[in-house]
Amino acid sequence: MFIVIAVAAIVAGLRYGEHAVARVFVVFLTFATLQVIANIFALIASSEFRENSCLWGVWDVGAAYAMIVAVFTGWYWVADHLLPNGAFEFPEVKGRPHRHPDVIDYLFIAFNTNATFGPTTEAVISRRVKALMMLQTVCSLLVLMVLVARVVGLRS
């Protein structure tokens, strides 16, 4: 599926421009989000560590956590570019010219939402993105609860 969507994005970009690539990217992100949710439910459903190894359990939780950050970084980038008034209001820095946000800015938002359950200095101006952030927070909380449950299970 990834290869099909990547080829579609390249063809759309060559024929129709950047907006078409962003729309194909939305399809990819939809599948990636469903995969993240499926992975979280798999983490919850698996009560035993793989091969009775604590390291694999931590790896699984860490990988799910990183996947959440990666997928929602993409969502925030797409939303900020496709929504009519953008999705975020980035703070201005005095004495510096206005700059357009880069991928690292959206990665920062996704990481902070995962770690602190909300943005820090950026204002969220889109209701759709607020709903996305709530979904990301729920996913992050579920992964952290799995981690805590596994650590508590080790002590028993």
End-to-end Cα spacing for the chain = 42
The pTM assigned to this predicted structure is 0.83
DSSP for residue 99: -
How does the average pLDDT of the chain come out, rounded?
83
**Phi, psi dihedrals of residue 138, rounded to the nearest 5°:** -60, -45
For the chain, the maximum distance between any two Cα atoms, rounded to a whole number of angstroms, is 59
pLDDT bucket at 62, cuts 50 / 70 / 90: confident
Instruction: Point out the least confidently predicted range of 105-109, 129-133, 146-150.
Output: 146-150
- Output Rg (C-alpha) for the chain, integer angstroms: 18
Which range in 3-17, 21-35, 93-107 is most confidently predicted, on average pLDDT? 21-35
| pLDDT of residue 63 exceeding 60 | yes
pLDDT of residue 58: 76
Angle at 103 between CA 70 and CA 66, to 5 degrees: 15
pLDDT in tens, 68-113: 999 999 999 999 988 998 999 888 877 777 778 888 999 999 999 9
For residue 31, CA distances in Å to 60, 71, 98, 131, 152 come to 20, 10, 34, 18, 33
pLDDT of residue 156: 58
pLDDT in tens, 29-59: 999 999 999 999 988 887 665 555 566 677 8
Domains of the chain (ranges, CATH numbers): 32-155 (1.10.287)
